[in-house]
Amino acid sequence: MADIHALTRELHIRNDHKIVMMVADGLGGLPVEPGGPTELEAAKTPNLDALARRGVLGNSIPVLPGITPGSGPGHLGLFGYDPIRYVIGRGALEATGIGFHLHDHDVAVRCNFCTLDEQGNIVDRRAGRIPTEESTQLVEKLRSIQIPGVEVFVEPVKEHRCVVVFRAPGLGDRVADTDPQETGVPPLEPVGEDEASRKTAEVAAEFLRQARQILADQPKANFLTMRGFAEKPKLPSYEEVYGLKAAAIAVYPMYKGLAKLVGMEILGPVATLEEQIALLEEVYNDYDFFFVHFKYTDSTGEDGNFAAKVEKIEAFDAVFPRIEKLSPKVLIVTGDHSTPSYLRSHSWHPVPTLLVSDCCRPDGCEAFSEREALQGGLGHFEAKYLMSLALANAGRLGKYGA
Amino acid sequence: MADIHALTRELHIRNDHKIVMMVADGLGGLPVEPGGPTELEAAKTPNLDALARRGVLGNSIPVLPGITPGSGPGHLGLFGYDPIRYVIGRGALEATGIGFHLHDHDVAVRCNFCTLDEQGNIVDRRAGRIPTEESTQLVEKLRSIQIPGVEVFVEPVKEHRCVVVFRAPGLGDRVADTDPQETGVPPLEPVGEDEASRKTAEVAAEFLRQARQILADQPKANFLTMRGFAEKPKLPSYEEVYGLKAAAIAVYPMYKGLAKLVGMEILGPVATLEEQIALLEEVYNDYDFFFVHFKYTDSTGEDGNFAAKVEKIEAFDAVFPRIEKLSPKVLIVTGDHSTPSYLRSHSWHPVPTLLVSDCCRPDGCEAFSEREALQGGLGHFEAKYLMSLALANAGRLGKYGA
């Protein structure tokens, strides 16, 4: 497997050329009737269309043909990290998703509150899906748990879910789930596969012992199960592999968390696209690379709301004159995957992608759309190569070999 | 090298959506005069053209750019098995080609009858290309060979060729050829590279000793040489990697054999495309995936007969209304490689490929042809990714990562 970082690590050059990557989550779409337009084709996007005439288009394959990514692999690909090689374990992604910034050697675990009967057998693996307010209070109680030599963090997620993070040197993450995936049986004991993971398993067992006492009186959520033990993934930083001082301007914790994992600085807080662009303008001189994340093209797609996705694309289009005023050397517009409202979910379809610099080879594309992107100069490419294209267009990659 | 099966094995979902893969062997072609049409472009294919307007086109690269595959790698690619990683040894392919179903741990060997002089030196490596009728009789004689603890199968192929299969536990296939590839010298002794293969070499030596006695009186074919010792290739099954109950509907032994190697059920016998489609209709409810193989686009190409290949393509086109009546969730039309009649051989050219489902992104293609496929939404892709695309379009692949 070709590792593009082996090249960018050696070849990158520092200069003051800036790269702005605008990510419209779930950008790619589908028609809702045969031969009709996609959301992007139906949207009026005069600014993106003008950029398409100056720049070069292509189709980004998030992972591999046919593979539908979640947000984690989708963004890792855009950030230039092979999403097959770099895997963010479930616990680590869950922690990332709620904005918990993992340290090296933290082990994060996704937990579900559950209901045990008097014999200690699970009768409800999700504790009746207790409301978030209730689980937040239980999390507060669990924070009293103390384990010598280990920092313990307990964070609420949604409904019956929470995240536990163990912080101590030498903890491994090869620990089996304690959720037996069925009812009528007791939860499993945590079991570690190697020495470091056995240490984690002991810590987890002690956590569970104390949690059982603390939760004993609860009518529904009288225990919890653990799944997806995961260390912070070992991702080389943007600074190291690209020589870029990078900043993320995102509204939602998941995308801030993913950017943090590759060493971007997280700016904000910001709540709207307007605020994101204002912040971009404000800090423009302070960084080399900006990742700006726009969520609503994905959420409207997941709702199956074609018209709303069109509207969100048009709102996204409207900010580009302000970005162009900043005159970035390289401007990229893409998505981490497609979310066609027809499918109401993420999909495998390639993502229309636009790259604008002063050294794009003209490809004759007249608009930013899926159909036009098929004729685009970038062709079909795996998302993981987008960053090397960005660096090249920014004059930030030297020659390979003499 | 990314292994797509590592993903499909984890992510596949079972449902009742059916996939039909129609393979026209050697489908892709070339013009016979500059600027002229290819065979597919010259053929009248109203049904395939209508499907092209609904579906998505692309160019399938059988192995890698410039690499011309044989039938083995060509089909492995279409079946989603990386044809570089998975290699079917020559003996195993020869056995497969005559419809011999290899068991695990069988070792198959391709043999040539040859002529030895009185000193035991080879004077004709092909025994004067004796006719098949004659070699079939010799094979019958060789079936009397008995080796303690080993089941021995001898099967005729064509002219001076036959296949020998040794069946016993613990046989290896790293045995050097006994054909010295020249005349005036004696055949080589079989030599094994490792312990298991030395056991095979001993068995082979005993087989050759008895064969020499049995054939001693033959005027031409008084001995045989052995080449391409090969175990049954270790291919994971369609059931395991895709969760598909798969059936093959093919006329020729080679394609039945290849399908069998990946765990498809072999249906038939059938002798014509008409019978193939009738059988598809009959068993349509019993399987998830159907591989239907049409040979004559390849054989006419190998004959260098442009007009005949056009005719065969038109005959192939004619059956699609019947397939559409079955309403498969995913319909694929492709070939295992190109066989341009201009070249009278397999070639490396990409194969025009059509995928139809309800979630194809329109690509504006108006006909099923090489030229149109260049504008297709699937772009250029390695054949090994066709199955992940098929599964995705059938709603049979879950999301990778959260």
ipTM attached to this prediction:
0.91
Looking at chain A, which residue has its C-alpha nearest residue B363?
Answer: A371
Chain A neighbours among B 294-323 (CB < 8 Å)? Answer: none
Find where tokens 């020589």 sit: A243
Q: State pLDDT tens for residues B286-317.
A: 999 999 999 999 999 999 999 999 999 999 99
- A190 touching chain B per CB within 8 A: no
- A158 touching chain B per CB within 8 A: no
CA distance B182 to B204: 21
Dihedral sign for Cα A42, A44, A47, A53, please. positive
Contact A312, A40 (CB under 8 A): no
Do B400 and A38 count as a contact with CB atoms less than 8 A apart? no
Phi-psi region of B379 (alpha: psi -120 to 50; beta: other; left: phi over 0): left
Amino acid identity for residue A240 in this structure:
E
Q: State pLDDT tens for residues A146-192.
A: 999 999 999 999 899 999 999 999 999 999 999 999 999 999 999 99
Judging contacts by C-beta atoms under 8 Å, the chain A residues touching residue B391 are 66
Q: Pairing relation of β-strands B289-294 and B19-24?
A: parallel
Return the DSSP state at B68.
P
CA distance B155 to A362: 61
Do A70 and B401 count as a contact with CB atoms less than 8 A apart? yes
pLDDT of residue A402: 84
Contact A204, A227 (CB under 8 A): no
Q: Pairing relation of β-strands A56-61 and A351-356?
A: antiparallel
**What residue ranges define each of the domains in chain B, with the CATH number in brackets?**
4-86+236-393 (3.40.720.10), 92-231 (no CATH)
CA distance A211 to A143: 10
Do B364 and A374 count as a contact with CB atoms less than 8 A apart? yes
Inter-chain CB pairs, A–B, below 8 Å: 102
Judging contacts by C-beta atoms under 8 Å, the chain B residues touching residue A84 are 2, 6-7
Q: How far apart are the first and last CA of chain B?
A: 23
When pLDDT is averaged across residues B72-81 and rounded to a whole number, the result is 97
Strands, E assignment, B25-97: 56-61
Q: Shortest CB distance from A370 goes to which of B361, B392, B397?
A: B361
- A233 touching chain B per CB within 8 A: no
Q: State pLDDT tens for residues B156-191.
A: 998 999 999 999 999 999 999 999 999 999 999 999
pLDDT of residue A158: 87
Judging contacts by C-beta atoms under 8 Å, the chain A residues touching residue B359 are 30, 340, 342-343, 347, 349
CA-nearest of B142, B157, B156 to B216 is B142
| A156-160, B46-50, B338-342: least confidently modelled range | A156-160
Q: What pTM, to 2 d.p., does this model score?
A: 0.92
Do A70 and B402 count as a contact with CB atoms less than 8 A apart? yes
Measured in degrees and rounded to the nearest 5, phi and psi for residue B31 equal -70, 155
Long-range pairs for B240-244: beta carbons < 8 A, 24 or more residues apart: B240/B9, B241/B5, B241/B8, B241/B9, B241/B12, B241/B80, B242/B8, B242/B12, B242/B80, B242/B289, B242/B387, B242/B391, B242/B396, B243/B12, B243/B13, B243/B14, B243/B288, B243/B396, B244/B12, B244/B19, B244/B288, B244/B289, B244/B396
Q: Is residue B1 over pLDDT 80?
A: no
Do A72 and B377 count as a contact with CB atoms less than 8 A apart? no
CA distance A64 to A158: 31
For chain B, give the mean pLDDT. Answer: 96
Q: Is residue A2 over pLDDT 80?
A: no
Q: Which of A3, A27, A41, A67 to mutate to test the interface with B (most CBs of B within 10 A)?
A: A67
For A116, residues 6+ apart whose C-beta sits below 8 A from its C-beta are: A122, A123, A186, A187, A222, A223
